[in-house]
Amino acid sequence: MSWQEQYRGRVVLISGASLGIGKELARQVWVNGGMVIATGRNAQRLDEAAQLICRGSDEDARRRFLVVAGDVSKSEDCRAAVDSGLHAFGRIDYLIHNAAVFHFDRIDSASEQVIDQMIDVNVKGCIHLTRAALPALRDSHGGILFVSSISAFYGMPEYGLYALSKAALTPLSESLRLENHAHGVFVGLTYLGYTANEPDKRAINAQGVPQPIPERPRTFTRTREAAARGILRQLIRRQSVALPSFLGHINWVFSYLMPRFAFLIHKRSYRSILWPLTVSLLGLGLPLSVQAQDRAVELTVRVGGLKSTGPSHLVIGLFDRASFPDGRPLQHATIHVDEPRMHWRISVPVATYAIAVYQDLNRNGRLDKSTFGFPTEPYGFSRNYRPLYRGPMWKDAALQVDRDAAIDIHLIAPER
C-alpha cells in the first residue's frame, strides 16, 4: 500500500490551511480519501479553499472537508477546532502544525506587537493546539508534525524573529516525542527550505503591516506540491526528522560543523545583490561529503533467479530514503527478460540508495500479490534482504554508492 493510500479514512487537523502549503496539504489528504479539519484565521479564505478543493464532488465527499475558522494563538480557538473535528469525524489521527506568521525586518526595528505576534502564533500556537489535540491523538495512537524552517539552523539577517520561532520547535518536538512515546503518539519535525508562495501570501514588517514576501532564489525553491508530499510522507512513515532540501543540508553542515565560516557566508548574503557571491562561496566551501553528492558514478545492478516461463518484464527501481519502498523511484526501468540473468547500468550521484526489483510475469505493470498481501511474482531488494514478518525498511536495503560499483540481487521465489 502506498503512503497516499494510507490516508484513506484518516482524520488530519491542519493549521494555516487557507493558503500555501497548508492548503496543498489539505488538498492532498482529501483527494487521497482522508478527512480534513482545516483551520485558519481568515474564514473567507478557508471557505474559498474548501470550495476550490471540493469543486465538482458529491455531498459525501464534501463532508470529508471541515472548515473551522480560528486563531491558534488563542487556546479557546484551538479547543474549538479539536472539538468540531471530533464531533464531525469522531477521532483525530494526525495534527500538522503549519500556521505561522512571517516577519522580515531588523530585530531592533520590530514593535512589541510584532514580537508578541510572532511568538504567540509560531510558538504558543503550536503549544495550544497540541495540548487541545493530545487526548484524541493518544486515543488514536496518531501523530504530530511540526513544520519548521532551515532558518532554525542559523539566524539570517532580518529573519531573526522568524528563525527564533522556528528554532523553538526543535526542543518542543523532542520533549513531546519523549513524553508521548509510551502513549503511541509519533512526533516529527521537518525543516523546510525555500518554497514557492501563493501571490496573496504576505509577511509583516516592523509595524505589523502586511507586505509582499521577498522573492526567493528560484534555483533552490521547491513547489508547494512537492513540499506537501514530503510532509505527508514523513508523517505516515513516522520519520522523526526530515531535511528535504539541498540548501537545507548545506545550511546544516555550515551551521553546526563550520560556524565561523557560516558567519562569513551569511554576512555576505545580507544584501540581496551579493546572493550570487554567496552561492559561489557555498560551492567552494562545502565539505567533501557534500561535494561528493554532485559527482556521478556508475552503478550496475545484476539480477539473477529469473523465471523463463514465457515472455516477461524485469522492473527495477532506484530509491532514496524519502521514497523507499512505496514512493516514486528516482530512476526506474522495465526490461524485456530474455536470459536467466539480466543487468541494469545507470549513472548516479554519490549517495545512499535502495533498490527494489520484481519480475512482471504477466506484464500487467505491477507486482501481483495474494489476498494476504504476499507477492506472487519473483521479487528482491538490494543487500538481498528477505522479508519475513514485515515489508522492507530503509535500513534493510540501503547501500552507500560512492564509487563505480556492481551489486547482485537474487530474486525471491514466491511461496505457493
Distances (CA, A) of 153 to 224, 252, 290, 294: 22, 6, 17, 23
Buried b / exposed e along 79-117 (16+ C-beta atoms within 10 A): bbbbebbbeebeebbbbbbbbbbbbbbebeebeeebbeb
Classified as helix, coil or strand, 209 is coil
- Distance from C-alpha of 321 to C-alpha of 398, rounded to nearest angstrom: 8
- Distance from C-alpha of 229 to C-alpha of 231, rounded to nearest angstrom: 5
The torsion region of residue 127 among left (phi > 0), alpha (psi -120 to 50) and beta comes to alpha
Q: Could you confirm whether 191 is annotated as catalytic?
A: no
If we measure between CA atoms, which residue out of 137, 135, 115 comes closest to residue 13?
137
Q: What are the DSSP calls for 328-340, one per residue?
A: --SEEEEEE--SS
Distances (CA, A) of 133 to 75, 136, 265: 11, 6, 41
SS3 content of the chain, % helix, strand, coil (to 5): 40, 25, 35
Catalytic residue among 94, 162, 379, 385: 162
Grid cell 551551521 — which residue? 255
| Beta pairing partners, 319 | 354
The secondary structure of residue 311, as a DSSP letter, is: S
Classified as helix, coil or strand, 194 is coil
Active-site residue list = 162
